[in-house]
Copies of this chain bind each other. A is one copy, B any other.
Amino acid sequence: MILNFNSQSLKALEKNKRAHFINSLGGFKSVALVGTSDKVGNTNLAVFSSIFHVGANPPLIGLIFRPSPPERNTFANIIETGFYTMNHINESIINQAHQTSARYDKGISEFEITGLNSEYKDGFFAPYVAESSIQSGIEFKEKIDISINNTTLIIGEIIQVYFPEDCLASDGFIDIEKANTITCSGLDSYHKTIQLDRLSYAKPNQEITSLVNKQ
């Protein structure tokens, strides 16, 4: 049976229920660990599911911050230092990734708490997650206030990428499923994926074809 909720029923939902419901409604989400450090090297790690593609040229990625988020140290570090990392999550680290969403004091590093290892390379300021198979180094570019609900959009440019060579297709596509990257839904549900198909570029009056060699 199909249920219908309208504005009134959504408003009437208890706060946590509404958070679960609305967060589920947007569909499957990108989920990644964002690594930062303050000026003196105190590291921070936080899981984000509000990451989205903004553009490919220049390569830009967006991140939504809530008004008073548990990830407030991440926000402060990005503004203070200008750099952060985005690290894909795989099945073996979902519990550790999820644990970073707890509200730790600023003095406490989620790297230490969870046992995930920080990794610095190629002179990039912010720490990567060593256990992550696809890592990006990002430079802060723009902060946009979303006044309607007091959230903040942070846009950054991807300036470093590390990824497994065997996941790169000849057309530039990265097979993130092969890299064991997972997805999430709602506030706390983690999922692995099974590729259904890759489809050819769509044009009017032309049949779509599969780009995948089906066995």
Contact = CB atoms under 8 A, between A and B. Distances in A.
Contacts of A3: 162-165, 168
B94 A197 contact: yes
Chain A's interface size range is 35 or more
Contact of A141 (B61, B102, B148, B200): B148
Contacts of A192: 193-194, 196
Interface string A37-53: 00000000000011111
A78 interface: no
Contact of A21 (B149, B172, B197): B172
A53 to B, nearest CB: 4
A76 interface: no
A45 to B, nearest CB: 13
A38 to B, nearest CB: 19
Contacts of A144: 144, 146, 153
B204 A199 contact: no
Given A173-B186, A204-B103, A26 B2 contact: no
A183 interface: yes
Contacts of A7: 157, 159-160
Given A23-B56, A61-B26, A191 B188 contact: no
Interface string A82-126: 000000100100110011111110001000010000000010000
B58 A173 contact: no
